[in-house]
Structure 1
Amino acid sequence: MSKPDAESFIQRNTDESDDDWIAAMDNLCSKLTMDEVTTAKSKKSFSEIKRNYTLDGDILHWMACALYVACRSSITPTVTSGKALEGNCVSLTRLLRLCNISLIQFFTKIKNWMEMALMSTDFKDRITRLEHKFAVSTVLFRKFQPIFQEIFSGLINEPPKHKSKKQKLQPCTTNALFEFTWCLYICVKGEFHNSADDLVDMYHVLLSCLDFVFANAYMARRRDLINPAFKGLPESWHEDDFELPKKPPCIISVLCEIKEGLAVEAATMKEYSWRPVIKTFFEKGILKGNSDHLTGLLDMGTFETNLKSLNKVYETYVLSVGEFDERIFLGEHATEQVGTKNKVSGDEISQVIASFGPSSRACPDTPLTGRRYLAHREELTPVSEATNSLARLAAFLRHTRPKPSPHLLRFFADCGVSEEAINTKVIQPCQGWQEQFATSLRESHCSNETIGFRCNMVTCLYYKVLEHIIREEHRKKPQLSLQILLSQGTYQLTVYACCTEVVLHAYGVHSLRFPRVLQIYQLSAFTFYKIIELLVQAVVEKLSRDVIKHLNAVEEQVLESLVWTSDSPLWEQLTKTPVPASTDVHINESPNSRRNISGIQSPVSAAINTFISPMADQAKKQLFNDNVKPGQSLLVQANNVKHGASPATSPQHAGSADSTPNTTPKKTNNSLILFFRKFYGLAVVRMNDLCSRLGLVDDELKRKIWTCLEYSVMHQTQLMRDRHLDQILMCAVYVICRVSNTATNQVERTFADIMRCYRGRPLADSHVYRSVLINRGNEEESPERGDLINFYNKVYVKCMQTFALRFTGKHKDECSLSPLPAGRAGRAGRSPGGQRVSERHQLYVKPLTTPPNHQHHLTYRFSRSPAKDLHAINTMVSCEVGGAKRVADGGDVVVKRARYAAAGVARKLQGLVSDRQAV
């Protein structure tokens, strides 16, 4: 099971001689006027990477990465300030132009380079932030042009032409005003260091700049510039005797009304954040005009000076911080430099956003799990998606205050909770958490008004959610004392933290993106995940699709990696209780039951119980009342093996797959049961999706993969420490395909195949397979990391080889297979045709908006198709025959005769239809 040489990421590159690339890099450094130290550093790093890795594609693209990293890692002393400046003032835009690489290509390459060069987390975060700022700028430039044309007239779709110095001064044109407005915006944005990648905030900054430029044109009576049909003009604007007001007009509310803004938020941004920046521009002489009323910018002579000044200021800023030059959007070569197929302002913007994967705030991918919570997708732009999230949240909290509602106080009183207890156990702790959140916002340099808005929103949402959860818990368990419930400070804090995450995401606060909220409140991921589903159920109808998707992605992130870090409390629990098998944590669901993100029935009580006490007896009674399970996993018996026994030998003494375990697990823990129910649910969804992409459709093969994956989690649990579920899953797929591959059964898949298919999954990240922990090292040594193949050969095979060989069919210790978790596999195994509702038939349900995609399908559209179409499907699944065959051309299975009835399928189908109608 060793790795074939052709699959290795680590190969010596002999395609180009050293002299060739050294000469090319010297030429680049010369054109960039790079200093000797940075030049030497870039050449050294490039040589090391080239020696150890295969650098596919244009070698100049990789040189751009080496040069950029070297530039941003250098320190340049400044004469004027006496301070050291990070970076050496090399233009990123010029660097990319010389290397013939677009911004989108650069972001893809630099991510791979950072993994190969083992760059620090801090540097990776800076690249992620730069990438996100680029995504936000791309989105906002797309918005900028149509809004500008709504306000102003006469814009010609050609790049701005700069005048010769000898030309006579003329009034500014609309095209020049277009350039001026964008330059003003990017200069102002440069002052917002910690929120320049927040889509909503920067959109409101852009609206403030448009409002400012309109006010200057209005006060200068520039009727030739302003669109006469603009909604923000007074009726008397066109009259000859029109009198100007004493103060410039404000069109913020009009722009928000017609262009997807939030009026209150935008007005607050303009008054308390944007205006102070503009005033400093006047004070420093960057802008010239009437500093009292912020007018006079468009006067002849003054306008040209202001435009040159903004360009100079921005040029200095870009060189000092090493960012891309956002003026490229104005140029005629914007398409090539950005990397889009057509004009940036076209519909191809979705391609730009999609290129950034999970780091993108705008229009993120939908996670594989939890999709039933999502309403039908609306046709929203990235900006409207973001503002819609805030608008819906604000509407939900419109009549609330940042304190317990009268209804909640009355409910407490009715349940015997004293005012003193409410104050000490509810209100005072909440005030403390609010201050913690405010402190984190101050560190991000938010204004006091912004801090007040966001803190109040979190607190209002917290009391709403808390009230809903408490009422639901009391309704289901009236005997449970609210005094006991309110004594759980960690539980309430976690609810507050989850509400914080909702607000941060709705605002698009990238600098505080998850898992930063865990640091703010000093919570573990293992604690945090328990509340996510409760919050979603409490306010699912009030939150936008975007927020629901985000919370689901957060839950997946927690389950796949964050709970497996070395400092996670999960490990302490696992020292007391062995990892359960998937069959020990699963609850069978009836066809008509309403499922949620994890498949848990009644998650409110279950999650609250995990904060109160480990209810072992109750959990055992609920989950293990049936000792005989069809297809019982062999690995369940491992629960009887003493903790610390050799896991490699325990399955050898197990009985058959259909036998009853000798005893039920002696130890159990409700918190662990709930966790592993979710974890296994996510794992089987991921496995089914990857198998589907790899074309591995055989049920027995998938059960082998699942058994191998389950075994590694149960008996080689250390493989998960500081690693990622997908790393272990991909290794399981690879090893099972290798040992199951025979002359008659060709199922082997290379790691290249597996990783290529993995990349196509929603929210997949190349970091998962490019940088895997190999060895933790000690206090003096840094952890060793490598690619997935490295991990497989050095770590995974040593732990799993003995067990995996039992699936070859040649061993006397042939291993029985674990069943795929029921209830999840059907949903996880979605085909492009929709959601499968029968294990025996290829019968699917999919959204009505999806057109039929195969000529061999029998299709029935509810409320549209004739009854005969449904009758044809019923006939197919209920007629009596003895077998089935698959049509040769890839169509559905055609059932000729069957001895089973379709009642079960019909019930399952009816349950799904009911669920869809209820959403």
Structure 2
Amino acid sequence: MSNDGQEQELGAEVVSGAVVTDDTLEITKAKYTNLCRELNMDSQTEEDGWSMYLDVGQRCVMEGDSTMWLCCALFAACRRSSTPTVIGQDAMVRGNCVSLNNLLRCCQMSIYDFKTKIKQWCDMANLTKEFVSEIAVLDRKFSITFTLYKRFRNIFDKIFNCPPNEKRHSKYSSLHANHANGKCSYIKLDDICWRLFLCAKNQKPSTTVDLVTSFNLMICCIDLIYNNVLAERRTDLINPKFDGLPSNWTEVDFRANPHCILSYFCDMTEEAKAMKATTFREIMSSFFQTKTIYGHERTMLGLLSNENFERNLKSLNISYEQYVLSVGEFDERILSAYDASDHTNLNDQALRPPATPLTRKQDLPAQPAMAGEKFEPVLNATNNVKQLRAFDRITEPTDYVKQAGEEVNAKLLKIIEGIKSKFLAHYPSGEAKSRFRLAKSFYFYLLDQILQAEIKNKPEFDLKRLLVQKISLVNFNITLMACCVELVLEAYKTELKFPWVLKCFSISAFEFQKIIEIVVRHGSHEGCLNRSLIKHLNSIEETCLERLAWASDSPVWDMIATAPKPLPTHYDVNCDRTAGALQIFLRKVYLLGWLRILKLCSELSVVDKAPERIWHIFEHSITQKTDLMKDRHLDQIIMCAIYIYIRVSVHRSSPSHSLCLSLIDALTQELPMPLPLL
């Protein structure tokens, strides 16, 4: 058999496609046209969406219901356009004002399915990095709101009570309820409270980009509605078992003085109270001025009076609908149409700590005693913030660091000011200064710990000279501060996920991964960083090692270009005590690669001497064919190594051979880039 014939035979079982007939395409086109008519889609967006669908169909097999892929194509086309508004001559809104929820409803597609399919569509359609980033933010924002809604349900039901003559919350009940005598019902109380929060967080979106701040705002909204219920003497809506009730709330002469309940539900009460007195009051004042809310502006009462509550609910709905159409996001009112437990396909996975990384498990503190309890994202985030806030008393370099002299410390503070300017320019929140201040406090603590450890390990060095040398390293200080900023953003659970911090400070992933081990080593001292935050750092270090540091613009390629060939093996880098930056990087990559190989071999049931043999193929790829890693993922090389091993070592007709190949094919579908051809 010729070589060409062999190559064709080898590729036959892994390259498959579906032939789309003209009849099938005609049916799909008709389905798409009907969808666009139902949505009243403009002709340009309709044409763009169909062209995108056809283009992807030429290159990829779109398995499953075509309607889901049409939905993704149409959504992407909608997001590409912009619509002028009447606000001003140059005012525009993103998208063409087609509601995402309407699109999903017309396609009979769940939010969960959409979130899954649109991520695949981004890869299949080769959409821009900006669009992919927007989808990630959209996903994370909804995850934050979903998490908050579960807390909302729990808190609301602790404070308020459903009267015996009403049904508790059920699907769409609030949309069709008709309540006599004009009084606010339990269901509409629920609705007005949730919609008030949605409108409030969208009124100042820059102040609610994280879970902790958004939770504080939600508690402020619940607190306000609670005080309005007391003021209206609606004792039938109050849960008598709530611990925060005034002692005389049932008496005839009861007067509803301002009664704060933030401390009953918020671990960071002072921060929540500060928000209530400033940001929340500003938001409510703007609502009164724009007639989004009706009542008494000074006391913020009267919102639930018979004359106001219906128009307040209607006004909040209109305001929120306008916002959703202008930004093209999920309509989060849909959450209040269900009990939180009904969302079986939605979860707060995006807000959970990462799975335990394979590397440096020994650095993780022991599991806390409550680890077996159900994970609660808001509580976890609050604990992380409190952990870092233990250092906010440190506002300047420590006395130990100051021994380097005024000139050196002045240079250090100048570097920090430059970093601060970059952060304030990029961080989209009014809380930017306080977030950076917290990061800076932890930075000063870590710098002190790192320098003291250096001196202890090198007693022969002159203290001042070593301090001057270390502090003067601009890259060291920038990456250390960036790592502290990343910890603060992770603690608050912001919408900005790693590697945002790299873009903010113009740092390469190769440089950033160097600092993580140092921060973990000194940050875990005396329990300064908890298990959740250390896992996060270990996880992003693995992200750097497996993918980001191999980007084509990474400085690692300049080092590889000047390094002796072939690159050192794992034996060389492990035995070299004078290893440089490249050798240390490769040492980490080799360790991660070996652990991944062991894990994959176990999952694929490839045993005996397979891991060692697969390792040799993998190591050969790194040392001899390093360019294969450029803009690729470490797992792709490992997959290819496993594939080659199975091809060579396992009989092709055996069940294990076919099973392994099918599993590899399934696993590669989850990787962000195509497999290299070896």
Give TM-score scaled by structure 2 length.
0.90
For the structure 1 residues 531 and 304, does the alpha-carbon distance in structure 2 shift closer, same or farther, using more than 3 Å as the test?
same
For the structure 1 residues 740 and 15, does the alpha-carbon distance in structure 2 shift closer, same or farther, using more than 3 Å as the test?
farther
Residues 25-174 of structure 1 mapped to structure 2, 5 A cutoff: 25-79=32-86, 81-82=88-89, 83-154=91-162, 156-159=168-171, 160-162=173-175, 169-174=181-186
Q: Equivalents in 2 of 1:561, 1:494: separation in Å?
A: 19
How far off is 1:502 after superposition?
A: 0.8
Deviation larger for 173-182 or 733-742: 733-742
AA aligned to 1:73 is R
Conservation of the 8 A alpha-carbon contact between 2:141 and 2:495: no
Q: Equivalents in 2 of 1:53, 1:130: separation in Å?
A: 25
Conservation of the 8 A alpha-carbon contact between 1:195 and 1:509: no
Instruction: Find out whether 1:323 has 2:329 as its counterpart.
Output: yes
Conservation of the 8 A alpha-carbon contact between 2:204 and 2:283: no
Q: Equivalents in 2 of 1:565, 1:181: separation in Å?
A: 47
Q: Equivalents in 2 of 1:428, 1:162: separation in Å?
A: 58
Q: Equivalents in 1 of 2:176, 2:583: separation in Å?
A: 72
Deviation string for 1:718-744 (max 9, x for gaps)?
Answer: 111222211211112112211223379
Instruction: Find out whether 1:673 has 2:602 as its counterpart.
Output: no
Match of residue 365 from structure 1:
355
SS in 2 for 1:182: helix
Q: Equivalents in 2 of 1:756, 1:11: separation in Å?
A: 17
For the structure 1 residues 150 and 745, does the alpha-carbon distance in structure 2 shift closer, same or farther, using more than 3 Å as the test?
closer
How far off is 1:125 after superposition?
A: 0.9
Deviation larger for 426-435 or 575-584: 426-435
SS in 2 for 1:237: coil
Match of residue 465 from structure 1:
446
SS in 1 for 2:184: coil
Match of residue 490 from structure 1:
475
Conservation of the 8 A alpha-carbon contact between 1:740 and 1:747: no
AA aligned to 2:347 is V
AA aligned to 1:329 is L
Deviation larger for 556-565 or 535-544: 535-544
SS in 2 for 1:76: strand
For the structure 1 residues 487 and 84, does the alpha-carbon distance in structure 2 shift closer, same or farther, using more than 3 Å as the test?
closer
Conservation of the 8 A alpha-carbon contact between 2:45 and 2:77: yes
How far off is 1:297 after superposition?
A: 0.4
Specify which of 185, 189, 200 is matched with residue 201 of structure 2.
189
Instruction: Find out whether 1:532 has 2:516 as its counterpart.
Output: yes
SS in 1 for 2:93: strand
AA aligned to 1:236 is N
Deviation string for 1:176-222 (max 9, x for gaps)?
Answer: 10011111111122224346552222111211110111122223332
Conservation of the 8 A alpha-carbon contact between 2:614 and 2:642: yes
Q: Equivalents in 1 of 2:495, 2:597: separation in Å?
A: 31
Q: Equivalents in 1 of 2:629, 2:316: separation in Å?
A: 52
Match of residue 3 from structure 2:
none
Q: Equivalents in 1 of 2:191, 2:237: separation in Å?
A: 14
AA aligned to 2:311 is T
How far off is 1:10 after superposition?
A: 5.1
How far off is 1:583 after superposition?
A: 0.5
For the structure 1 residues 61 and 195, does the alpha-carbon distance in structure 2 shift closer, same or farther, using more than 3 Å as the test?
farther
Residues 222-621 of structure 1 mapped to structure 2, 5 A cutoff: 222-245=234-257, 248-256=258-266, 261-331=267-337, 334=338, 343-345=339-341, 348=344, 352-354=347-349, 360-374=350-364, 375-376=366-367, 378=371, 379=373, 380-394=375-389, 396-397=390-391, 400-406=393-399, 408=400, 413=403, 417-418=404-405, 420-441=406-427, 444=428, 446-447=429-430, 450-481=431-462, 482=466, 483-511=468-496, 513-540=497-524, 541-578=527-564, 579-586=567-574, 620=576
Q: Matched residues, percent identical?
A: 35
Q: Equivalents in 2 of 1:154, 1:692: separation in Å?
A: 53
Q: Equivalents in 2 of 1:321, 1:426: separation in Å?
A: 41
AA aligned to 1:255 is F
Conservation of the 8 A alpha-carbon contact between 1:462 and 1:495: yes
Match of residue 892 from structure 1:
none
Instruction: Find out whether 1:684 has 2:670 as its counterpart.
Output: no
How far off is 1:557 after superposition?
A: 0.9
- The structure carrying a bigger helix percent of its residues is 2
Conservation of the 8 A alpha-carbon contact between 2:174 and 2:191: no
Structure 2, unmatched stretches of 5+, are 1-6
Conservation of the 8 A alpha-carbon contact between 2:510 and 2:549: yes
For the structure 1 residues 8 and 192, does the alpha-carbon distance in structure 2 shift closer, same or farther, using more than 3 Å as the test?
farther
Deviation string for 1:769-827 (max 9, x for gaps)?
Answer: xx3xxxxxxxxxxxxxxx32xx32xxxx2xxxxxxxxxxxxxxxxxxxxxxxxxxxxxx
How far off is 1:381 after superposition?
A: 0.8
AA aligned to 1:569 is P
Structure 1, unmatched stretches of 5+, are 335-342, 355-359, 588-619, 624-668, 760-765, 772-786, 798-919
Instruction: Find out whether 1:708 has 2:617 as its counterpart.
Output: yes
Conservation of the 8 A alpha-carbon contact between 2:391 and 2:441: yes
How far off is 1:681 after superposition?
A: 0.6
How far off is 1:582 after superposition?
A: 0.5
AA aligned to 1:317 is Y
How far off is 1:470 after superposition?
A: 1.1
Conservation of the 8 A alpha-carbon contact between 1:10 and 1:52: no
Deviation string for 1:683-706 (max 9, x for gaps)?
Answer: 11111111111111122x222211
Higher RCO (C-alpha under 8 Å, 6+ residues apart): 2
How far off is 1:560 after superposition?
A: 1.0
Deviation string for 1:249-282 (max 9, x for gaps)?
Answer: 32222321xxxx4213322333333322221111
Conservation of the 8 A alpha-carbon contact between 2:636 and 2:671: no
SS in 1 for 2:236: coil
Bigger-Rg structure (1/2): 1
Q: Equivalents in 1 of 2:116, 2:208: separation in Å?
A: 21
AA aligned to 1:371 is K
Q: Equivalents in 2 of 1:279, 1:438: separation in Å?
A: 27
Match of residue 4 from structure 2:
none
How far off is 1:76 after superposition?
A: 2.8
Residues 198-217 of structure 1 mapped to structure 2, 5 A cutoff: 198-217=210-229
Q: Equivalents in 1 of 2:553, 2:486: separation in Å?
A: 22
AA aligned to 2:488 is V
SS in 1 for 2:47: helix
Q: Equivalents in 2 of 1:726, 1:114: separation in Å?
A: 20
How far off is 1:302 after superposition?
A: 0.6
Conservation of the 8 A alpha-carbon contact between 1:12 and 1:50: no
Q: Equivalents in 2 of 1:164, 1:535: separation in Å?
A: 56
For the structure 1 residues 109 and 217, does the alpha-carbon distance in structure 2 shift closer, same or farther, using more than 3 Å as the test?
same
Deviation larger for 375-384 or 98-107: 375-384
For the structure 1 residues 54 and 744, does the alpha-carbon distance in structure 2 shift closer, same or farther, using more than 3 Å as the test?
closer
Q: Equivalents in 1 of 2:416, 2:560: separation in Å?
A: 32
Aligned residues: 651
How far off is 1:148 after superposition?
A: 0.5
Q: Equivalents in 1 of 2:156, 2:438: separation in Å?
A: 32
Q: Equivalents in 1 of 2:551, 2:278: separation in Å?
A: 41
SS in 1 for 2:265: helix
Match of residue 176 from structure 1:
188
Deviation string for 1:24-83 (max 9, x for gaps)?
Answer: 111111111112222222222222222332211112111111121122222333356443
SS in 2 for 1:299: coil
Q: Equivalents in 2 of 1:320, 1:59: separation in Å?
A: 28
Deviation larger for 676-685 or 91-100: 91-100
How far off is 1:505 after superposition?
A: 0.9
For the structure 1 residues 75 and 163, does the alpha-carbon distance in structure 2 shift closer, same or farther, using more than 3 Å as the test?
closer
Instruction: Find out whether 1:696 has 2:599 as its counterpart.
Output: no
Q: Equivalents in 2 of 1:17, 1:744: separation in Å?
A: 35
SS in 1 for 2:249: helix
